[in-house]
Amino acid sequence: GAGVSQTPSNKVTEKGKYVELRCDPISGHTALYWYRQSLGQGPEFLIYFQGTGAADDSGLPNDRFFAVRPEGSVSTLKIQRTERGDSAVYLCASSLTGTSGSSYEQYFGPGTRLTVT
Amino acid sequence: DAKTTQPPSMDCAEGRAANLPCNHSTISGNEYVYWYRQIHSQGPQYIIHGLKNNETNEMASLIITEDRKSSTLILPHATLRDTAVYYCIVRVRRNNDMRFGAGTRLTVKP
């Protein structure tokens, strides 16, 4: 079946601009995650959604970063007043969630490469 | 979640077994060991996970020591397409984020 998709695959923006990154999770997956990966490092957790609500946003670096998932499916990561340090690959993942609250394996999209000039 | 330690890089000959070690000496009793890999320019891919017992699937085997302080991921017959960064992660299964380290860069050579 279809995996996690992310658009755009590449985004170049100027410092100070606003950007939106989109994630389409696997159909039926109730949990959705955003990660950020800088060159040469492992992915860094940003935020987790269970359904429509952000269950854990402790990884968001500051208030310029915001994410929504209004209908419990597609999610958008929004970055205001972008800075050069925001340049990275932004990864989205989705998973099932068990009735006991256990999380299942996360399936990742290909990522969006954001470059802030 | 417990911290993991992995060698930064390893080489393996094509067709041979690749054995990737991971140290997780502070692992708690309810923490699972997960392995993911990331092929260049792709998102991480789930490989396998385990709690106490050794596990095997179509991709790999996971060997966890009896004291659970370390584990080894085994790719039985490595191919060039297995060249990737391999991440070992330990986490409580109910936790919803994953803490990736720097991983091991495995290079499979012809």
Interval A70-75 mean pLDDT: 94
Nearest-CB residue to A41 (from B34, B94, B102): B102
pLDDT band at B94 (very low <50, low <70, confident <90, very high): low
Please give the structure tokens belonging to residue A51.
């359904």
Taking CA atoms, what residue in B is nearest to A32? B96
Q: How far apart are CA B29 and CA B96, in angstroms?
A: 18
- pLDDT value for A2: 83
Across the interface, whether the CB atoms of B87 and A41 are under 8 A apart is answered no
Interval B24-29 mean pLDDT: 90
More confident residue, B47 or B93: B47
- pLDDT value for B43: 94
Question: Which residues of chain A have a CB within 8 Å of the CB of B44?
Answer: 43, 91, 93, 106, 108
Q: Concatenated DSSP letters for A35-103? A: EEE-TTS--EEEEEEETTEEEE-TT--STTEEEE-TTSS-EEEEESS--GGG-EEEEEEEE-B-TTS-B
Residue A94 burial (C-beta neighbours within 10 Å; 0-12, 13-18, 19+): buried
Q: How far apart are CA B78 and CA B95, in angstroms?
A: 32
Element of type H or E holding B74: strand B70-75
Percent of chain A with pLDDT over 90: 75
Interval B83-104 mean pLDDT: 85
- pLDDT value for B92: 74
**C-alpha distances out from residue A106 to A102, A115, B11, B13, B35, Å:** 12, 26, 27, 30, 11
Whether the per-residue pLDDT at A103 is higher than 70: the answer is no
- pLDDT value for B49: 92
pLDDT band at A59 (very low <50, low <70, confident <90, very high): very high
Interface of B with A in 41-100 (CB under 8 A): 41-46, 49, 85, 87, 93-100
Question: Which residues of chain A have a CB within 8 Å of the CB of B45?
Answer: 108
Whether the per-residue pLDDT at A96 is higher than 80: the answer is yes
pLDDT band at A1 (very low <50, low <70, confident <90, very high): low
Which of A24, A36, A45 is the mutation pick for testing B, counting most B CBs within 10 A? A45
Residue A55, CB-side half-sphere exposure with 13 Å CA sphere: 19
Q: Residue B110, preceding bond cis, omega within 30 degrees?
A: no
Interval B71-98 mean pLDDT: 89
- pLDDT value for B41: 85
More confident residue, A48 or B93: A48
Whether the per-residue pLDDT at B70 is higher than 80: the answer is yes
- pLDDT value for B1: 63
Percent of chain B with pLDDT over 90: 78
Q: How far apart are CA A42 and CA A60, in angstroms?
A: 16
Torsion of CA B66, A104, B82, B72, to 10 degrees: -10
Question: Which residues of chain B have a CB within 8 Å of the CB of A102?
Answer: 93-94
